[in-house]
Amino acid sequence: MDKFPPLETRDLPKPPHWSKALGVGVVVMGLAIGTGELILWPHLIAKHGLGLLWLALLGISAQYFINQEVARHSAATGEGFFTTSARVIKWSPVFWFFAALLLYIWPGWASAIGAALAELFGFGTHLGWSWTVLGLVLLLTFSGKIAYNILEKTLKVIVPTFFALLVVISFFNLSWAQLAEGVKGVFSFGFIPEGVDINVLLGAVVFAGAGGMLNLCTSLWYRDKQVGMGEYIGRVVNPITGREESVAATGFTFEMTEENLKRWRGWMKYIRIDQGLIFLLLGFITLFLLSVNAHAVLTPLGIVPEGWDVAVAQANIFGQQWGVFGYKLFLVMASLMLFSVMWTVIDALTRMISDILYTNSRVGPLASKLKWFKGISLSKIYYTAIILIVAIGAILLPAKQPLTWLVISAVLGGMTMAIYTPFLIYINNTKLPKALRPSWFTNLAMVLISIFFIYFAVMVIGAKFF
């Protein structure tokens, strides 16, 4: 007995037209473009060459399937991943709570954007700019009525702007021969150069997309976007500018009628377009172009920069080629990328810990231990938590070397992926009605993905302790 109430039965809402599917995919791409794409992959490519790009394709394709399977259960029940996990494994919310904090409390991205902005404007310190952009996250978060809506709307401006700048830079900087060499690297399956740091490599594969536990937050973003049965749950509403909504602690189910199953197929089409078109396709094009650009400008000079130096070093080289225009253009693009990931990581961390505290203080075996939160709404937990997380990040900012933080976070993220990918296979094939379960092809892909991350986790542990 999982000590959670059974799912209440309601009709599955009608899905919107697929053209309105773009949303969460933009948010997840906002995560992807500022982590592995800007820092880890250019670092690896500058050091070891374009032959590693096949792993980038593997990593981002794997996360397409993971995001789809996380979204599947959320659309079918309205519950976030962490509630479903608690139904199966009693103490799992405790693990996920502390894993999320350990993975994402480090302010590496704020430090990176601070460095880029100090270079861009030519005044102030990277710490000063980092504190400024952290404050901007709070300002933007509190300016909207619905927490998710303001995040999505802002990223729908930032991500296309960044992508347009990247295309312009690539047009001026890359030759057809360099692009062809990059394409060759995409199909160099099995190539791993001698001497590559396995931790950095795993980090890059994990961050070829969102990575780590950030993929699990997809369930919470789709729920707040009211996808599928998420329409009945309620959303995180700004307690200052909006009227709070009643949020259900647990989810819903629907009868397997012909009409409901037709609607279900519509919702899954919606999710596949969102994740496939925006996250997978545009995400990989972004990763590819950034990596080839880094190889084109850094490798001939023998430069292998660390951390945010990847962006600054490239900006300086573009400046030598194109003057102030190239220098400023690259730094503007890098700043947009980094801001998108910084804000989205902060939102994801806040959303994950808020959901765990809210749900488990009301139902389940941990309710008595979290009773202090029972009288607090999800919205108040979220908005209080985001203030605390930003404040902790500001305190930790003097710690340097974002690459170090990214690698630590990515390796730990890879460990969590080795845990939750098999779990996703289990819950979607045993806890959902047969008509809603993944196809044999999706299950095969998820099994291979699980083996991949378990293998790398074992390799990392072996390299560290044996």
The single residue listed with the structure tokens 């404040």 is 391
pLDDT in tens, 158-179: 888 888 888 888 888 888 999 9
Radius of gyration for the chain, computed over Cα atoms and rounded to the nearest angstrom: 22
pLDDT at position 1 is 44
Q: Is the pLDDT of residue 37 over 60?
A: no
Which stretch of 209-213, 234-238, 428-432 has the lowest confidence by average pLDDT?
209-213
| C-beta separation of 75 from 268 below 8 A | yes
pLDDT at position 56 is 86
Residues sharing a CB contact under 8 Å with residue 439, sequence separation 6 or more, in sequence order: none
pLDDT at position 328 is 81
| C-beta separation of 444 from 193 below 8 A | no
pLDDT in tens, 300-357: 777 666 655 666 766 776 676 677 777 788 788 778 878 888 888 899 999 999 999 9
The half-sphere exposure of 286 on its side-chain side, counting CA atoms within 13 A, is 33
Q: Is the pLDDT of residue 399 over 70?
A: no
Longest distance between any two alpha carbons in the chain, whole Å: 67
The mean predicted confidence, pLDDT, of the chain is: 84
Q: Thinking of the domain 8-465, which architecture would CATH place it in?
A: Up-down Bundle (1.20)
Q: Stretch 219-240: mean pLDDT, rounded?
A: 89
Domain ranges of the chain: 8-465
Confidence of residue 10 (pLDDT cuts 50, 70, 90): very high
Q: Is the pLDDT of residue 266 over 60?
A: yes
Q: Is the pLDDT of residue 420 over 60?
A: yes
Structure-model confidence comparison of residues 233 and 412, the more confident one: 233
Q: What percent of the chain has pLDDT over 70?
A: 88
pLDDT at position 310 is 63
Tokens at 272, concatenated: 């596949």
Q: Burial letters for 258-295: b for 16+ Cβ neighbours within 10 Å, e otherwise?
A: eebbebbebbbebbbbbbbebbbebbbebbbbbbbbbb
Structure-model confidence comparison of residues 103 and 310, the more confident one: 103
The model's pTM is 0.88
pLDDT at position 208 is 64
pLDDT at position 187 is 92
pLDDT at position 409 is 63
